[in-house]
Amino acid sequence: EPEVTQTPSHQVTQMGQEVILRCVPISNHLYFYWYRQILGQKVEFLVSFYNNEISEKSEIFDDQFSVERPDGSNFTLKIRSTKLEDSAMYFCASSERSGPWEQFFGPGTRLTVL
């Protein structure tokens, strides 16, 4: 069964450093997303991406965040200058172009900012 994959599974970084989180969506999917979940809190939408551009972004997704699809398979989330409050689980998700917009999630990257 096809699945979304994410690397690394855990990233530890110092405050102010840049991090890049990587995702490989399901191959025939065209919509891509990033969500985050701070420990003990709910899953929050960050950004959606379609046709090589951002479709929608939340208030959380400020100028420190960017997304890119550098090739035909990878989808990345970059945080330019990490803050302590960026510590969270980051989930990538993808969905098919059509259908009831069911989104399938990757296993997540746990980001710890020290």
Partner 1 sequence: RKEVEQDPGPFNVPEGATVAFNCTYSNSASQSFFWYRQDCRKEPKLLMSVYSSGNEDGRFTAQLNRASQYISLLIRDSKLSDSATYLCVVGLSSGSARQLTFGSGTQLTVLP
5 close to 76: Cβ distance less than 8 angstroms: no
Complex with partner 1: residue 15 or 54, whichever CB lies closer: 54
Complex with partner 1: residue 33 or 65, whichever CB lies closer: 33
Complex with partner 1: residue 35 or 75, whichever CB lies closer: 35
Kindly list the residues in this chain that would bind partner 1 in the complex (CB under 8 A).
31, 33, 35, 41-45, 48, 50-51, 55-56, 58, 89, 91, 95, 100-108
Complex with partner 1: residue 27 or 41, whichever CB lies closer: 41
